[in-house]
Structure 1
Amino acid sequence: MELDVRTNELFMEILNHPNETSGSLGKRLGLTRAQINYSFKKLNEYLADLQLEAIHRTPNGHFVVPRTVNEQFNDLHQRKQIDIYLAPEERMYLITLMLLSKTDFLSMNHFIVELNVSKNTVVRDLKELGGLLAKQGFKLEYLRSKGYRIKATEWQRRQLLLETINQIYLFDTDGTLLLQFADINEASLAKYQAKVEAVEQSLNIRYSDNKIKNLPVFTLLLHRRVKRKKTIRYDVELDFSELQETQEYNVIKEIFFDGALATADFNDVIYFTLLFLSTNLTQMDILSAKELRQLELAVTKVIQNFEKIAHMTIVDKEGLLQRVMIHMRPAYYRIKYQMHLNEVDIERQKNMGVSSVFYLVKQSLEPLEQFFSKQLPETEIFYLALFFGGHLLEHESVLAKEERKTAIIVCTNGISVSLMLERNLTGLFPEIDFIATLSAREFYEKNIEAEYVFSSVPLETDKRFYLVKDFLTDEGKLQLRKQVMNDTLVGMDDFALAEKIVKKVKKNTKVLDEEALFLDVLNVLKENVAKNEKIKDHVIHFDQLIPSKSILIEENQVTWHEALDALSQPLISEKIITPQYLTALKQEMAEIPPYMIFRNRLALPHTEPEKGALGVAMSFGIFKEGFLTETDERIHIVVLLASNDKEKHIDALLELMDLSGRDDYISKLVECQTAAQAYKILHSYRINYWG
């Protein structure tokens, strides 16, 4: 077994700097935690092959190098680069690249020589690859006259080629292997990099960083296929006249189909046009074409539907419309011509805190579905949800600027993923002002002043730097928050502080009712925060809006109006609502309105602020016997919302929307016997939601 470049570099650093932690090594080498873990695993497999002991990591991240390993490699002159080792899945991507990019006959010997592995290894890889391709409707075949090839339509081959390039860049970040196995020299690649930059300049647009890396390689290999007369035929009905009228068509034809390629098949020019039209952008001007104007009207109606379904007024609807339209310009061609985004992204959405907004957006999409005359793919809905969620959670902090830290977010994967990352980080760190979200190129060009930088890629900067993943898991959020809190000392939330106070009290006196003391301390902390004028408009979470006396657990069967009575009384006592608010609720809601039930699990009754809302708060009811809805579903959670401000409750509303879809939390809540138990579950949910 051999070591790849990254693993070998990590090995040398561990041997030469045994006291350094994995965290500091990662920052210095520009590696993520996942990359270090992957290389560390491969390193120990390499040592096992040499019958040497494994290197261990301590809980605080230090490396423990066995004496036998140090003795084996104590001559630093012998610590040199070793031939590249590739995992089986990495070899299959490179074989696919060879099949789709090279122009000569490919036999098994070609793969053996290029990959530097045995015949048996190549046989296994080809068998595995054949099975994977078959699942996608392709066929890997061998012809004596043509060698190995992938049997599929040209459209399918090109889509597979693009996906293969994207996957290879995940483990071959500098592109060395990609150029080697696609037989591309750097001079040729530089020409296509210049062509992509010329498209940017001509159209006055900026492609995301990862597209700038992928597009030159992909277009070069596409031209190679065009020259070999691998002309594309379309499986979908295209509106050729519409595409020819776009500015992109003329620019692409001039830049990519000049000289010897001027007589290229019209279908190939169209394909290149579609490619650039469907590529995510970081910024662009919306054109005034008739079709795009109709699309804008459809998006406007979607925003209006969202407001109605979510029971909220969106601030700066025009700003949201323009941001969505920047996304919808390339999405229009993806949806219309079935050039969909990779479906893997939607599989991650449950871990990103956007499922509630996803649910609301999906319910609001009828105007867009009418526009396209088809349902939108879930991946496209997911990215729309990122825009809505990001917009709703952008609150201007009223803390004095000099008292707050500022940060920049750098993301290389386009505006949709950037918005998602921005949304996660602003929710995760309400103590920090995130003043800009940039691509890597913009970061170096603009040099914006800020104390912190959160980036999805390694950067050269003298600011305090945090490397984050585009898609943060719940565990990742918790770890990142702990790291930043430890570094910046910006504070502790009410819940954690209340628990700490209760533990201190228990050490010095006898506590008869720990749960009651915990809730009383928590309420005191909340009241103190509420009176602090500097942070009165701070991001408010739903558990912070529920006073301990407003958590109701009812064992017996009650009527709907009895439930409203019980939930209203604590808010009336706290002067959050007037008795007239309860009267209005009863008049408007003889039964549970269907539009106030989320996922058949949670009801959220409320009415207009002018009918008696004096503040912002919630009363949380757990009804063991439950209530039947019009669809014969039984709900057990009813949350009475009062808000005299159409913005302050938005964060809480989104959290409750998501909570309604979490069966594990709903089940735990229904089983609660005390208010303290319920509150702890609600707080635990919120912490996992935001990290």
Structure 2
Amino acid sequence: MPLSERDNKILDELIRNPGITSMLLEQKHSLTRRQLGYSINKINDWLMSKNLPSIERTRKGHFMIDQAVFTKLGAEDETAPMETAVLTSDQRMRFMIIMLLSSEDELSLHHFTSELDVSKNTALKDLKEAQKFLDDYTLSIRYSRKYGYLLEGREFQIRKLLMTITYQIMFMHDGEKRLKELASIDDREVAEYHDRIENVENKLNLKFTDEKLETMPYVLILILRRIEKGHAINLFSIEYEELSHTKEYQATEEIFCNAEAIPMEERLFITLHLLTTNVYSTEFQAEEDVIPNLMPAIDNMLRLFEKSACIYLQDRNQLLDKLLQHVKPAYYRIKYQLSDTISPQDLLSHEFKELHHLVKRSIKPLADLIGSRIPDNEITYITMLIGGWMKRHGESIEKKIKAIVVCPQGVSVSRLMFNELSELFPEIVFLDSLSVREFLKYELNYDIVFAPTFLETDKKLFIAKAFLGYEERQRLRKQVMLELHGYLPHDLNVEELMAIIRSHASIENESGLAEDLQWYVNRDDDLSIHQTPDRKTVNLDQLITPGTISLQNNADSWEEAVRVSAQPLIESSVITPAYVEAMLYYSREDPYIVIGPNMAIPHASPEDGVNEIGMSLLRLRKGVKFSTDYNIHLIIVIAAADKHQHLHALMQLMKLAGSEKDRNRMIYATSAEEIHDIIQSYSTD
């Protein structure tokens, strides 16, 4: 989150005069205790995102500032307020947009040149830049001789733009003053709405962030202005039943108690604006205010993150409460497409960019609850919350070993390697599984690479086959540990650890704790290299049955072969016809589905049309051409219902693919039962 002008002034004051007290700082800058407290929290979040220590306050109101803050900010002078009155093209562009949003008169080019003190050519150039900005909102600027310059597009998108631009202008240098001038907003009107919103805060038992409290009067005034001019909100999927019972809906009624009749759609939209507004604190979270299943979704997201980042977060319940406070308004922003279009990723430090990547990989429980993809800017804010929490508790992934898996054999095989190696090395942060082409463009920092073939890299490279037997796993683990640490870590006895813990603490769930400890320390044990016990595993012979095996001598084309192979799965409704088209598309894009000299595994993503897990096999005695390099005799269609359930069977299939003798036996088999017998011999481990 960027620092506002007020935050910058406070930080600048603290850097220049670290001996100042809270009371003097409040008096000098005309601040309330609440405003100063909020700004200090904002400054600390910003410092942490820059990998700098936070500023602490003593009980007597003095400030404790680490020398690193003086060194960094004193040298760069990043926080010096802008003194120049010359507007940048970016500022002029935003001022033009607010004029288009708020003007009650017809706008000509002269209005822009006189208000912004620029030439006609500059104004026309700025209007073109404004149009580029509006493209993200699917809005356009149109000029007519009769009405001048106008904004065109859905009113919902215009309102979304209005909220974003108002917020951005308010936190420019002298932004509030320019906003009042450009939109002809009266001080008394602002003060009246400010008072109404503060009264609403008390009724809602919450405190809006100061920046939202400052911005909301302007947003509400401009929205009412558009309503009065007849710009009605278009019908959109706001659910009345979801919003009408909320305290925010009651607040809307209170804020506009003296206004003329406002249509229900407008009341719901303004309620939505209040619901999507971040809060600084809440006195309590009433049960009826909690979105059903939101806390479990956040909890599951955090568990996935902890596993990906190889950490155990301290004071986890407090972090969950903090995330809930942030995610509740984010839930409504995402569900009703009111998130900002601009991502603040450039505010992330290098380490936070790695955290952002891991949070993004863990966000699925939240996306599933909302029923929508989580925008990257919302993920960035969640990253900053988690990252700031980790910093406060001395947690970091900076010193952890980070790895990537590079595999040229397609998505499923790459994912298989990623899962296997993640289980084998629980102390290593695995960032991604990549194709060779993705690897060549990869931007995140990593320390080691796992791949089945040699790669040109200046990092440590470990060659690992796509399918590893038990002894190969142990050998690889020892090789990696010796290379990274110069020694093999001693095995730890879980029972001894349990005895030590019992002597110092009460254990509510001994079996659960023992299981977690076993997973963490016994990395050479079977538990650390197999799928988790509660995950259902399916053997290869359960998926490829005589009923899903087809026998032909040849096929006219690769496309025909894939369609024939997939037909048993379509007939049994395991997949839809759309899944076949997706497989053909991906096989054209990615030739790495070939897993053996005569064997290929076309597949697509679960969302492309998979109803349940399944596999089917087509045997072509004469084979079919797949690119100029391969003649394929065995085509196995894989329908994965999720990212995990099919992996055990895929491991067995990879082992079969490595046997030239058994591949040839399948090619020359005379019946589906004969092929299934061969498959069964690989389905016992």
Pick the TM interval, shorter chain: 0.3 to 0.5
TM-score (norm 2): 0.48
TM-score, normalising length from structure 1?
A: 0.47
Report the structure number with the largest CA radius of gyration. Answer: 2
